[in-house]
Amino acid sequence: MIGHQSIDNLRPNDVVRPSLLAQYTEKMGIFSDDLTIAHTNLGILRQMREFDAELFGAPTAFMTLLHINLTDQILLILTRLWKDERSIVRLDKFSDWLKNTATRPEHREAVATAIAQAWPSPEVCEAIERCRKIRHARIAHQSGRLPLRTALVLVSQEEVEFAAKVLGQLYNAMNFGTSEDLVFIEFQAREGQWADGDFGYVLDRIALGSTWFSLPFEHLDLWRRLRERLNEDQVAAINEVRKRHNLPPLP
């Protein structure tokens, strides 16, 4: 299907001018690499949220610094793609180049429609702008203030996750039928199962080093006293790990 119709069944070499295909492939590769790092970091942050660090005695400094560093890298990536003048792939300029220059004439209208449909909403654009202000005030420069603590500018993790998801959809729209899973396969985890993937393995080792796995199971009275301090969600979390390692549930 060509021209004014759908481009869903076409591939980049069907849509992009042959003379510009190498340039298109290079820029889309950068776009993909950036988003893959951002989405992988977001996946790790979700695993950290699902993991009860206090219950399993995770090292506080390690978890805190990891959260900060992963978040900062995500903010840098999103804002670099969005409006960084030095970025090789600045999305507004790249999309204009793709629509107006790189696309074969017979597909321009369809490409413009696909990009317009996937383009971030005003709410998402505003969230990315706030990410950019955080980047300028705290990460890339020192303004003497901490914007996340002074309410100078705020952005929730949910907004960051949604912005990254939308940019992933925009990437796939400009990839013409070649949809990609923008997460390193080694770090992929099924929803709600932080033990899957490489980072899940790290969390699992932390859990296995806690009291809930090092205490001899024969000390039933002590187990029962410890269990009284837990809520049902915590008991379920402990028993899930114990089950995964062929250990009996809490008595």
The pLDDT tens digits for 127-151 are 988 888 888 777 766 655 554 454 4
* Average pLDDT for the chain: 85
- In sequence order, which residues have a C-beta less than 8 Å from that of residue 169 and are 6 or more positions away? 118
Which one-letter amino acid corresponds to residue 113? T
How far apart (Å, rounded) are the C-alpha atoms in residues 4 and 107? 7
Residue 238's closest CA among 57, 55, 63?
55
The pLDDT tens digits for 193-221 are 666 778 888 999 999 999 888 888 888 88
Is 157 within 8 Å of 75 (Cβ atoms)? no
Give the pLDDT score at 3: 41
Is 103 within 8 Å of 15 (Cβ atoms)? yes
Give the pLDDT score at 170: 92
